[in-house]
Chain A
């Protein structure tokens, strides 16, 4: 059965600092992996996705994630945090018949 674990329900970083949001998954088949972002009072928006091929995936707003099969991880990073990055971030894993979301990580940016 597939599952997603997001370590840290709340993460705070200073403006300009590195953002690292952690996601580990389990899947019985090669997974498709997604990161979504949710701003206050809005729905979720796709940040990036991993399907096959290159393991480093670049997304919108300067975010990227690296698929590491040996560590079953798909951590989200951004070199320099902006105030506008404050939001909730969701990792999701997909097999052919099911999509599973993590519990989310709320990112706070400290001025």
Chain B
């Protein structure tokens, strides 16, 4: 079974630009979560989608948004990029049937650098 695929692996953007990251979950998984990982803040939860609906949301500004398609693939968008948005963005999928009690399967992440 193919794992969670995130594209692109690396991205360099300029302040003020916007960016879209993509995540393809494991086949059959209906839940997709997004995390931001930085050395200073660790793993921070952005949001979770389940069957095309946002089910949970973390404490990030509205510049961070996401969506999920009918095939469970998900995209995350960050508008008006700031230097502090530089991070590793991780996507994780799960069956979602048991809420947060289902183990997460992570992709290798997208490393975003904002200059």
Chain A, 6-58, CB within 8 A of any chain B CB: 32, 34, 36, 41-46, 49, 51
Shortest beta-carbon distance from A6 to chain B in Å? 10
Shortest beta-carbon distance from B56 to chain A in Å? 7
- Count of A-B contacts judged by CB separation below 8 Å: 48
B21 within 8 A of A: no
Chain B, 78-104, CB within 8 A of any chain A CB: 90, 92, 99-101, 103-104
Shortest beta-carbon distance from B94 to chain A in Å? 10
Chain B residues touching A, range: 10 to 19
User: Could you tell me if B43 and A101 are in contact, using CB atoms closer than 8 angstroms?
Assistant: yes
Chain A residues touching B, range: 20 to 34
User: Could you tell me if B43 and A90 are in contact, using CB atoms closer than 8 angstroms?
Assistant: yes
Shortest beta-carbon distance from A41 to chain B in Å? 7
Shortest beta-carbon distance from B2 to chain A in Å? 14
User: Could you tell me if B92 and A43 are in contact, using CB atoms closer than 8 angstroms?
Assistant: yes
Which one of B99, B101, B108 lies within 8 Å of A43 (CB-CB)?
Answer: B108
A96 within 8 A of B: yes
> Which chain A residues border B90 with CB–CB below 8 Å?
43-44
Q: When chains A and B are docked, how far (Å) is the Cα of A49 from the Cα of B103?
A: 8
B32 within 8 A of A: no
Shortest beta-carbon distance from A25 to chain B in Å? 14
Chain A, 57-111, CB within 8 A of any chain B CB: 90, 94-99, 101-104
Q: When chains A and B are docked, how far (Å) is the Cα of A13 from the Cα of B80?
A: 44
User: Could you tell me if B100 and A43 are in contact, using CB atoms closer than 8 angstroms?
Assistant: no
User: Could you tell me if B100 and A95 are in contact, using CB atoms closer than 8 angstroms?
Assistant: yes
User: Could you tell me if A51 and B105 are in contact, using CB atoms closer than 8 angstroms?
Assistant: no
B45 within 8 A of A: yes
Residue of A43, A49, A96 most packed against chain B (CB within 10 A): A43
List 22 interface pairs A-B (beta carbons < 8 Å), by A numbering: A32-B100, A36-B104, A41-B108, A42-B109, A43-B90, A43-B92, A43-B108, A43-B109, A44-B90, A44-B106, A45-B106, A46-B103, A94-B99, A94-B100, A94-B101, A96-B100, A96-B101, A97-B99, A98-B100, A101-B43, A104-B42, A104-B43
